[in-house]
C-alpha cells in the first residue's frame, strides 16, 4: 500500500513537472512570436504579458455592464431600461419601491404635468383605430398607437422574425419588415405588416435594382400587408444604405431579397430614381397606384429646411400627392451595422426632429392627411407618451422588442455571433431562442407599454393617450427649472427657410 502511494506521488510529480515544462515551452513560443511580430507595439515591447491588455479590454465591456456601471449610466441602453423591459415582457410586474433612481435635474428631461382631478376608472377610454391613407383604394385602420419598427430578415434571425410576428398578432400591433423583403416568417403569425422599400428595393427589385411592379403587386396581394414605407434614411446611418455581411446571406435570404448568395450586400445611399422631392412624390404616387395601399416615407431630419422642402412640393401639387404617413427616425436610432461616425454624429435627435416635422405638417394644413410615426430609441412608456404629446400619431420601436426577445446588449449584431440567437444565422445559437416562449414576451411588452402610457395619460387628466398635448409636458432646463414644452415648441416656432433637397433625410 505504501509502495502504491509512493508510485502515485511520483507520477503526480512527473505530471506536474511536465505541465510546468509545457507552460514554459508555450511561454517561450509566445515570447518569440510576440517579439518578432510587427503589428502590435505593446506585444513587441512586452511579450506575453502584453496580451493581457487585449483580454482585459474585451472583458471590460462585460464587467462595466454587470458590475461597475450604475443603473442609469450605461449606453446605448442602461440597466434600468433593460430591467423594465425584462419585467414587462415576462409579466413580472413593474412596480418599484422607495423612490426614483432617475435624476430629475438633467436638462431635457420630460416631466409630465399631473392633473389635480384625474379621471376615475369609469372615465377611461381606449384609443380608437386611426385611419392611414384614407384616399388609398385600401386604407388601413391601425388599431394601436405603439407598433413594431423595421428589422429585416437577414439582419435578424428566422426564429426572431417568427416570434415577433406571432407576438405582434397577439398584441394587435403592426410589424414593419425592414428593408429585407417579405419572408414567410413575417406572415406566419398573422399580424398586420408594413412592407419597407429600402434603397436596394429588396424583394421588389429587378436584377439591376430597379422597382419591379409585378413583384410589388405580388407583395400587395397579401391581405396582411397593410402599408408600404419608402425608406429614405435610417437614424443610425443617414446618407448610407443598409449593410448586410455576406456571411448572413444564405440561399433563402438571397432568394427573398433577390441578391447573390454569400456576398456582402450594400444598399445605395439613396433611391437612384429620386433626385429631389418631386421625384419622391412621383415614386409615392406610383407605389400607391400599383398596390392600392397607403404609402409613406421614413426620414431622418438634418435641418428644418429639408422636410420643409417636402411640404412645399406637396403644396404645389396638392394634398392628394402627399405621403400617407411620415416616419421620423432620430439620430439615436439603432442598426445591425453602420459606420461609427454616422451612428455618433449625423442626424437630429428625435427630441428635436419630431416637433419640427409635426409643426411643419400642421402649418401646411396636412394634419388629417399625413400621419406622423415617431421612432428612435423610444422604448419606455415615458418616451412613447412624450412622442404622442408632441404630436405623433404612432410610435414604433425595434430595440425595445429586441430586449423583449432576450437581447443582452452584447453589441455583436454585425458579427453573426449574437449569443441570444436574435441577430445570428448560426443554428446552434438560434436554438436558444424558443419561439413559443419569446412570442409571449413580445406581446406582453407591447401591451405593458400601452397600459403604462395610458396610466400617464390618466395622470395628466385625459381619458386616453392621444388627447395628451404639449401643455401636459414640462422640460427641465439647465438651471434646474422646467418649462412647458408648448412654450419651448410653439406651433409658430418653425421659421420659414429656403427649399432644400439636403438636410432633410
Write down the pLDDT at residue 503. 40
Q: In what order do the strands lie in the sheet with 482-484?
A: 110-112, 473-476, 482-484
270 or 240: whose pLDDT is higher?
Answer: 270
* H or E element, residue 35: helix 2-36
Label residue 68 by pLDDT band (50, 70, 90).
low
Of the ranges 24-33, 50-59, 60-69, which is most confident? 24-33
In the predicted model, what is the mean pLDDT of the chain? 85
Q: What is the pLDDT of residues 332-376, one digit of tens each?
A: 777 766 676 766 667 889 999 999 999 999 999 999 999 999 998
Judge contact between 340 and 292, C-beta under 8 A: no
* Beta-carbon count within 10 A of 498 CB: 8
Write down the pLDDT at residue 243. 74
Q: What is the mean pLDDT of residues 400-423?
A: 79
Grid cell in block for residue 298: 421614413
What Cα–Cα distance (Å) separates residue 9 from each residue in 12, 125, 247? 5, 80, 52
Label residue 56 by pLDDT band (50, 70, 90).
low
Roughly what angle, to the nearest 10 degrees, separates helices 277-291 and 213-220?
A: 60
**Class of 121-493 in CATH:** alpha beta
Write down the pLDDT at residue 43. 74
Domains of the chain by residue range = 2-70, 121-493
Angle at 233 between CA 227 and CA 237, to 5 degrees: 135
pLDDT at 59 over 70: no
Write down the pLDDT at residue 316. 96
Q: What is the pLDDT of residues 137-177, one digit of tens each?
A: 999 999 999 999 999 998 888 999 999 999 999 999 999 99
Give pairs for 90-94: CB < 8 Å, separation 24+: 90/441, 90/444, 91/444, 94/448, 94/452
Of the ranges 6-20, 264-278, 447-461, which is most confident? 447-461
494 or 188: whose pLDDT is higher?
Answer: 188
pLDDT at 63 over 60: no
Q: What is the pLDDT of residues 192-236, one digit of tens each?
A: 999 999 999 999 999 888 999 999 999 999 999 999 999 998 877
Q: Which of 291, 283, 294 is nearest to 136 (CA)?
A: 294
Q: What is the pLDDT of residues 281-308, one digit of tens each?
A: 999 999 999 999 999 999 999 988 889 9
What is the pTM assigned to this prediction? 0.85
Label residue 122 by pLDDT band (50, 70, 90).
confident
39 or 64: whose pLDDT is higher?
Answer: 39
d(CA 117, CA 99): 23
Label residue 60 by pLDDT band (50, 70, 90).
low
Q: What is the mean pLDDT of residues 383-407?
A: 92
Q: Could you tell me whether strands 140-142 and 146-148 are parallel, antiparallel, or unpaired per DSSP bridges? A: unpaired
d(CA 454, CA 126): 8
pLDDT at 504 over 70: no
Amino acid at each position: 500500500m505504501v509502495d502504491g502511494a509512493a508510485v502515485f506521488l511520483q507520477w503526480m510529480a512527473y505530471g506536474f513537472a511536465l505541465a510546468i515544462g509545457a507552460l514554459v515551452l508555450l511561454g517561450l513560443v509566445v515570447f518569440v512570436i510576440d517579439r518578432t511580430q510587427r503589428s502590435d507595439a505593446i506585444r513587441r515591447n512586452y511579450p506575453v504579458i502584453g496580451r493581457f491588455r487585449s483580454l482585459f479590454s474585451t472583458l471590460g465591456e462585460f464587467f462595466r455592464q454587470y458590475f461597475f456601471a450604475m443603473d442609469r449610466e450605461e449606453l446605448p441602453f442602461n440597466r434600468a431600461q433593460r430591467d423594465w423591459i425584462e419585467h414587462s415582457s415576462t409579466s413580472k410586474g413593474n412596480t418599484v419601491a422607495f423612490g426614483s433612481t432617475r435624476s430629475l435635474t438633467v436638462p431635457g428631461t420630460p416631466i409630465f404635468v399631473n392633473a389635480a382631478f384625474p379621471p376615475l376608472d369609469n372615465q377611461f377610454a381606449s384609443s380608437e383605430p386611426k385611419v392611414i391613407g384614407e384616399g388609398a383604394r385600401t386604407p388601413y385602420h391601425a388599431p394601436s398607437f405603439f407598433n413594431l419598427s423595421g428589422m429585416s430578415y437577414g439582419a435578424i434571425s428566422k426564429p426572431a422574425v417568427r416570434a415577433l410576428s406571432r407576438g405582434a398578432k397577439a398584441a394587435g400591433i403592426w410589424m414593419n419588415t425592414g428593408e429585407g423583403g417579405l419572408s414567410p416568417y413575417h406572415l406566419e403569425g398573422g399580424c398586420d405588416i408594413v412592407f419597407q422599400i429600402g434603397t436596394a428595393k429588396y424583394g421588389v427589385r429587378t436584377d439591376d435594382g430597379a422597382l419591379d411592379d409585378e413583384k410589388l403587386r405580388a407583395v400587395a396581394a397579401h391581405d396582411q400587408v397593410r402599408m408600404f414605407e419608402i425608406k429614405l434614411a435610417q437614424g443610425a446611418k443617414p446618407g448610407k444604405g443598409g449593410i448586410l455581411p455576406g456571411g448572413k446571406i444564405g440561399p433563402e435570404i438571397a432568394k427573398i431579397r433577390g441578391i447573390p448568395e454569400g456576398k456582402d450586400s450594400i444598399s445605395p445611399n439613396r433611391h437612384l430614381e429620386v433626385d429631389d422631392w418631386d421625384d419622391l412624390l412621383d415614386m409615392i404616387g406610383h407605389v400607391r397606384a400599383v398596390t392600392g395601399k397607403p404609402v409613406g416615407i421614413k426620414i431622418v431630419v438634418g435641418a428644418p429646411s429639408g422636410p420643409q422642402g417636402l411640404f412645399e412640393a406637396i403644396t404645389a401639387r396638392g394634398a392628394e400627392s402627399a405621403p400617407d404617413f411620415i416616419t421620423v427616425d432620430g439620430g439615436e436610432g439603432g442598426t445591425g451595422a453602420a459606420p461609427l461616425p454616422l451612428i455618433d454624429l449625423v442626424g437630429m435627435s428625435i427630441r428635436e426632429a419630431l416637433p419640427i416635422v409635426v409643426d411643419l405638417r400642421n402649418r401646411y394644413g396636412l394634419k388629417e392627411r399625413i400621419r406622423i410615426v415617431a421612432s428612435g430609441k423610444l422604448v419606455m412608456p415615458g418616451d412613447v407618451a412624450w412622442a404622442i404629446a408632441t404630436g405623433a400619431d404612432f410610435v414604433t420601436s425595434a430595440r425595445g422588442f429586441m430586449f423583449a426577445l432576450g437581447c443582452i446588449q452584447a453589441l455583436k449584431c454585425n458579427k453573426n455571433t449574437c449569443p441570444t440567437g436574435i441577430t445570428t444565422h448560426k443554428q446552434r445559437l438560434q436554438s436558444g431562442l424558443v419561439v413559443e416562449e419569446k412570442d409571449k414576451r413580445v406581446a406582453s411588452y407591447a401591451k405593458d407599454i400601452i397600459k403604462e402610457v395610458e396610466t400617464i395619460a390618466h395622470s395628466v387628466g385625459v381619458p386616453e393617450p392621444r388627447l395628451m398635448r404639449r401643455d401636459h409636458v414640462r422640460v427641465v432646463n439647465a438651471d434646474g427649472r422646467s418649462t412647458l414644452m408648448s412654450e419651448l415648441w410653439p406651433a409658430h416656432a418653425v421659421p420659414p427657410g429656403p427649399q432644400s433637397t439636403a438636410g432633410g433625410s
